[in-house]
Amino acid sequence: AQSVTQLGSHVSVSEGALVLLRCNYSSSVPPYLFWYVQYPNQGLQLLLKYTTGATLVKGINGFEAEFKKSETSFHLTKPSAHMSDAAEYFCAVSDEGGTSYGKLTFGQGTILTVHP
Amino acid sequence: SQTIHQWPATLVQPVGSPLSLECTVEGTSNPNLYWYRQAAGRGLQLLFYSVGIGQISSEVPQNLSASRPQDRQFILSSKKLLLSDSGFYLCAWNTGTGSYEKLFFGSGTQLSVL
């Protein structure tokens, strides 16, 4: 069984500061890993995903995440926070193999607040 | 372009009342459809998924059911709501069979059972 743990349900940063949202996962098979973002009153949108290959993945809006197998982590970062980054962020994991459709296991979410 | 519609956005229902949440997808055919729920303080949990008309798979035992009467329509129902059914419900779709396939989410329904 897979699981995802997001450390910190709320993260607050100053505008221009580094954003770091932590995600650890457990999976019995090589995972596919995702970060989704939910802006207020909107559905979730895919930020980035890791499937195979390069472990540093770049996504939209300047976000990136690095897959570290030894640490079972997939932390999300952005060098400089912008006010528009305020949202809830979800880390998710899926089995590799192509047989489990879109059955993602999500973390509990991290609300990012950006203050001036 | 593809769009996903989910309604209503918010719903307040008494315990024991029925429920029907509807989700429709436009601009694609034969999508995989999903219902997720986020309970307060918890991650998104997959409730049901469907790979075709009339084909429903349930991930967790619960008080809810799902139906897919048409290719691009997915309905979440309950005959009698429980307090524990409160939460944020999200419909999603994708195509293909790969678990790496990007999911597209609706805007969600906030259900409060009182």
Nearest-angstrom CA–CA distance, B105 and B34: 9
Q: Which amino acid is at B23?
A: C
Q: What pLDDT, on a 0 to 100 scale, did the predictor assign at position A3?
A: 85
Nearest-angstrom CA–CA distance, A10 and B96: 34
Joined tokens for residue B105: 């989410």
Cβ atoms of A102 and B92 within 8 Å: the answer is yes
Return the ∠ at Cα B65 (arms to B15 and A99), rounded to 5°: 140
Q: What pLDDT, on a 0 to 100 scale, did the predictor assign at position A105?
A: 85
Task: For chain B, list the strands marked E by DSSP.
Answer: 3-7, 10-13, 19-26, 32-38, 44-52, 55-58, 65-70, 73-78, 87-94, 104-105, 109-113
Low-confidence ranges of chain A (pLDDT < 70): 95-102
Q: What pLDDT, on a 0 to 100 scale, did the predictor assign at position A100?
A: 57
Contact criterion met (CB < 8 Å) for A99 and B36:
no
**Best residue of A10, A44, A52 to probe chain B, by most B CBs closer than 10 Å:** A44
Half-sphere CA count of B106, side-chain side, radius 13 A = 28
Q: What pLDDT, on a 0 to 100 scale, did the predictor assign at position A47?
A: 94
Residue B75 DSSP SS3: strand
CB nearest B90 (choices: A43, A92, A107): A43
Query: What is the residue whose two structure tokens read 């995989």?
Result: B32
Q: What pLDDT, on a 0 to 100 scale, did the predictor assign at position A103?
A: 74
Q: What pLDDT, on a 0 to 100 scale, did the predictor assign at position B99?
A: 59
Q: Which amino acid is at A56?
A: L
**CA distance to A9, A66, A108, per residue, from B41 (Å):** 8, 26, 6
Q: For A110, list phi and psi in degrees, rounded to 5.
A: -130, 125
Q: Which residue of A has its CA nearest to B58?
A: A103
Q: What pLDDT, on a 0 to 100 scale, did the predictor assign at position B60?
A: 79
Half-sphere CA count of B90, side-chain side, radius 13 A = 22
Is the minimum CB–CB distance between A15 and chain B shorter than 8 Å? no
Q: What pLDDT, on a 0 to 100 scale, did the predictor assign at position A34?
A: 92
Q: What is the pLDDT of residues B91-100, one digit of tens each?
A: 999 887 665 6
* SS3 sequence of B85-100: HCEEEEEEEECCCCCC
Is the minimum CB–CB distance between B41 and chain A shorter than 8 Å? yes
- Going residue by residue through chain B (114 aa), what tens digit of pLDDT does each one get? 878 999 898 999 999 999 999 999 999 888 999 999 987 777 788 899 998 999 999 887 778 999 999 999 999 999 999 999 999 999 999 887 665 677 889 988 999 999
Give residues with Cβ within 8 angstroms of A97, minimum separation 6.
A29, B99
Contact criterion met (CB < 8 Å) for A103 and B99:
yes
